[in-house]
Amino acid sequence: MTAFDSFWAIYGNVVLTLGTNALLALSIWLTLACGMLAMANAAFMGIGAYTAAILTMNYDAPFSVALAGGMAAPALVAAIIGLPTIRLSGVYLAMATLGFGEVVRVTVLNTESLTGGALGLNGIPQLTQWWHVVLAVVIVLFLLWRVRVSKLGRAFDAIRGDETAAGLMGINVRANKMLAFIIGGAIAGLAGALNAHLTFFIGPNEYGFDRGVEILTMAILGGIGGLPGPLLGSAIITLLPEVLRGFSDFRLVANGLILVLIVLFLPQGIWDPARFARWMRKGGRRHA
């Protein structure tokens, strides 16, 4: 066995989890970039995971069809719940989407014949390969980069800056928010579908409040000023338990502490192009 084979046998799942967590961070980054504090991404991930797992386990669907279903189901649900909730903002939107997450969890618990209930689904075929995850991250990054540099991305920035002013400039605020919400749900569902076929088992407790806070922490930690931010934040949050394996019982405490410290001292996250530019200007003046 080569050194790479030994490394992959031990850390392969961690490496692939880096990719799925990157997708989750990018999914919530999109809604944050449009000025929405939506906390439904964990629920969307769960919907995508259960949909894809049921398709492969119960209907022998090809993996590509399962992934497509895992994206379509949360996107459809996002379109439905977005109609009444998208007009909310700030903490009210966060509370509404958290409530939706609890509805999803209870629904999974009470549909035991389909979802396995509290016992979850076990024996999911391990179909996710490393190139599936890499390809998914690359495609999502490319699409979000295209969105960011397009007219749609500028509309998102305007809505995040001042929703009222954006509306007065002729931007359809509600339609843009709905689009960001739906695309974010589809990306989270894709992450759930890939993760379900990586871990063999999924259960309702994996997609609850704690998971939602973790996803938000990834994006806030990295920063929403650019696409590298959520990638950086997701990598840190994913690798932190491996670095602090002996303190695994305090993982949620660590995540909460990180979020508080970032909000207090780095409100724009680690990846903040404006802060880097200021540092560069200061460095240039010192050498002048």
Which pLDDT score is estimated for 189? 96
Which pLDDT score is estimated for 178? 94
- CA separation for the pair 33, 31 (Å, rounded): 5
* DSSP bridge partners of 121: 202
Residue 228: alpha-carbon gap to chain centroid: 14
Which pLDDT score is estimated for 180? 94
H helix runs in the chain, sequence order: 3-33, 41-59, 63-85, 90-109, 112-115, 130-148, 151-161, 163-168, 173-199, 209-222, 228-243, 251-265, 273-287
Which pLDDT score is estimated for 139? 96
Non-local (6+) Cβ contacts of 38 within 8 A are 28, 31, 93, 94, 97, 181, 184
Which pLDDT score is estimated for 269? 77
Output the pTM of the full model: 0.89
Residue 183 tokens read as 């695309």
Task: Collect contacts of 249-256 with beta carbons under 8 A, ≥24 apart.
Answer: 252/210, 252/213, 255/213, 255/214, 255/217, 256/213, 256/217
| Higher-confidence position of 249 and 218 | 218
Residue 83 tokens read as 């109609």
DSSP 3-state assignment of 202?
strand
Least confident of 2-6, 113-117, 182-186, 223-227: 2-6
pLDDT tens digit sequence for 263-287? 787 777 777 766 655 666 666 565 5
CA dihedral sign, ordered 130, 131, 133, 138: positive
Which pLDDT score is estimated for 283? 62
Least confident of 12-16, 106-110, 111-115: 12-16
The mean pLDDT value for 54-68 works out to 94
pLDDT band at 252 (very low <50, low <70, confident <90, very high): low
Phi and psi dihedrals of 85, rounded to 5?
-95, -20
- CA separation for the pair 230, 235 (Å, rounded): 8
- CA separation for the pair 72, 76 (Å, rounded): 6
pLDDT tens digit sequence for 76-100? 999 999 988 888 888 888 899 989 9
Which pLDDT score is estimated for 250? 67
pLDDT band at 253 (very low <50, low <70, confident <90, very high): confident
Contact 117, 110 (CB under 8 A): yes
Contact 26, 141 (CB under 8 A): yes
Which pLDDT score is estimated for 18? 92
CA-wise closest residue to 181 among 20, 22, 28, 25: 28
The mean pLDDT value for 239-253 works out to 67
Mean pLDDT over each residue of the chain, to the nearest integer: 86
Which pLDDT score is estimated for 246? 60
pLDDT band at 144 (very low <50, low <70, confident <90, very high): very high
CATH of domain 13-284: 1.10.3470
The mean pLDDT value for 11-34 works out to 90
Percent of the chain with pLDDT over 70: 86
Q: Where are the domains of the chain?
A: 13-284
